[in-house]
Amino acid sequence: MHDALQVRVPTGIASLDPVLEGGVPPGSAVLLLGEPGAGNVEFVQTSLIRLSRLKRDGVAGEHLLLPECISYVTFTRMQEDILKEIALSFNPALYDRLGKEIVFHDLSELYFDASIVPPDWYGEGSVIERLQKKQRKENGDVLAELARAIDQCPRNSLIILDSLTDIAPPLNEGRRWHAFIAFLRGLQRAAKRRNSTIYLLLTSGILERRRELEIADCVDATALFRWEESGAQRRQRVMYFEKFRGVMPRLEARNLVKFAVSISATEGFEVQNIRMVI
């Protein structure tokens, strides 16, 4: 049991994993809450690139657990768009490589079916076929389809939800919000039962702060990405953990909670100049 507690799922980010004693505890639901451009998206992209490489190279270790499957769930973006963005940002060769190594679940058709968006903007087939297929649905159906997509992921998976920003605002009231929060709490339990790691992307400021806190209460860890003024009219990306169950006491004991972040085309997301907490 002692060895099992030391097992970690690496983020793949070489400058961060040693700080986390190897990575994230298996079965963790991690909220990546970020200001626009502050780094939460690049965190996910770099993690995908590095983990795919580790799996391809067959890297293993006594306390290192690589995901059996990497799944990417998208509500509004196309697989091609996501892969193209990663390839343009880091390496053109990644387009074909990641397309073969990542399992995509595209829920955009169901998402847009519940909107006023014309079917020919997002669907396939002729206009008549799309109009016949289009049915107005409640957003709750998106959650049901999301649950089905997660059920298709094998145990010990890494699952990226891109993003809660797409589905949370329309549910931001009454019973629909309570159903959404219940879903997130169930998702956290599912992560542990399936020994899977789940990254949930959310843009900060879209929801009221109290709503963000409710979401944060449903997950095991919350990493906050933001911009801070660093003098000379320059801005610095920073990342810090607001919570990290099972990990936070160790981080605080070493004064490792808040980090300066850089993003480059060659190295991707990196932690630099670890800041001491006073």
- The class level of CATH for 3-273 reads alpha beta
pLDDT at 124: 66
* pLDDT tens per residue across span 40-84: 999 999 999 999 999 988 776 778 899 999 999 999 999 999 999
Query: How many C-alpha atoms does 275 have within 13 Å on its Cβ side?
Result: 14
**Arithmetic mean of pLDDT over the chain:** 88
| pLDDT exceeds cutoff 70 at 233 | no
In the predicted model, is pLDDT for residue 37 greater than 80? yes
pLDDT recorded at residue 32: 98
pLDDT value, residue 232: 67
Domain ranges of the chain: 3-273
CA angle 58, 63, 66 (to 5 degrees): 40
pLDDT for 6: 83
> What does each C-alpha distance from 273 to 205, 227, 236, 262 come to in angstroms?
27, 15, 11, 10
Taking residues 195-220, what's their average pLDDT? 97
Query: Residue 4: what pLDDT?
Result: 63
Picking from 133, 163, 122, the residue whose alpha carbon sits closest to that of residue 146 is 163
Cα–Cα distance, 101 to 83 (Å, whole number): 11
Residue 168: pLDDT over 70:
yes
**Greatest pairwise CA separation for the chain in angstroms:** 63
Structure tokens at 2: 């002692």
pLDDT in tens, 78-112: 999 999 999 999 999 999 999 999 999 999 888 88
Q: Is the pLDDT of residue 132 over 50?
A: no
CA distance 24 to 222: 12
